[in-house]
Amino acid sequence: MSYYFAWQPYVSVAEKRRRAEREVAKLKKRGQAIAPVRIEGRKIAKSFWGQSWCTNLERYSDFENRLPRGRTYVRNGSVVDLQIAKGEVAAMVAGSDLYKIKIAIAPVKNARWKAICRDCAGSIDSLVELLQGRLAKGVMDRVCREGDGLFPSPGEIKLNCSCLDGAGMCKHVAAVLYGVGARLDEEPQFLFMLRGVDENELIGRAGQDLPLSMTTPGAAKVLDDSDVAALFGIDIAETASADIPTARKQPRQFKTVIGSKSAETKTPPAKKDKSPGTSRSKPEPKWVSLVRARKRRAQRPRGQTARQETP
């Protein structure tokens, strides 16, 4: 073992970064997308999902021996690339060389995921609330629960690194796992992608007990003025303006001259011109106009014509 360390001379962190940057620059020239992990300050993760991921790693004794070195590596910027896809994390870490890491994470079993959705039903109001981690304590405890929660256990994680370390988890892999926690601060939906589940299912039952008129796409039309007017046979626009003085709502042509004095005549509401488009912003259905015309003919005194009706 002493021979091994003599063969591998110490390399400073600055030198490791320079080597890694040269390799990354070559990859960028080939058109490969690079997403490094940047940690500001001592805290690796700050959001609910990022911190919960890191806490889940630290609760297992299988990982505890290598995690401290991993924290050091991720803090000093050694994770020069980290890509997350469905059930897989691919990364590159700068060490004595540029090492490639593959981490496979098993999807959540269907029965387990349905149990999580059932236990959280009605407690999450929106996708934004879910991704921001603004959840009730009971929901947070359920999602993070060891064994049957959303986060993976060691048996659901397969690790692979191109370095010579024969340990199950080397410091490079540990750095990448912490890097996932930091990445969840920015894009928490990656957790659901990793676990092969749809985050929208957690809010799929929210509001299911509301009345049908509150959940159907056309519910807004229930309170539309024109629909209420048609349903109850009233003119909402005219009713709302009934208290306005006649001089303000009557046009000038309704003035009549009696002798030398002029006076404004008040037209009874029943005889007002209710042609479409005069008292409302939207045209009324044709059948409503026909019904109103029929009512006016029925109320007209016998022998009086429509032309005699207008003053």
What are 8-56's pLDDT values in tens digits?
A: 667 777 777 777 778 778 888 888 888 999 888 889 999 999 999 999 9
Q: In this predicted model, what pLDDT tens digit does every residue of 96-153 receive, in sequence order? A: 888 999 999 999 999 999 999 999 988 888 888 888 888 888 999 999 999 899 999 9
pTM for the model: 0.62
Looking at per-residue pLDDT, the higher value among 144 and 242 belongs to 144
Cα separation of 47 and 287, whole Å? 59
pLDDT at 230 over 90: no
Taking a C-beta distance cutoff of 8 angstroms, is the pair 105, 87 a contact? yes
Give residue for tokens 């340990």: 167
Q: What share of the chain is helix, strand, coil (3-state, %, to 5)?
A: 45, 10, 40
Q: pLDDT tens for residues 246-271?
A: 444 444 544 444 444 444 444 555 55
User: Which tokens go with 67?
Assistant: 């995690």
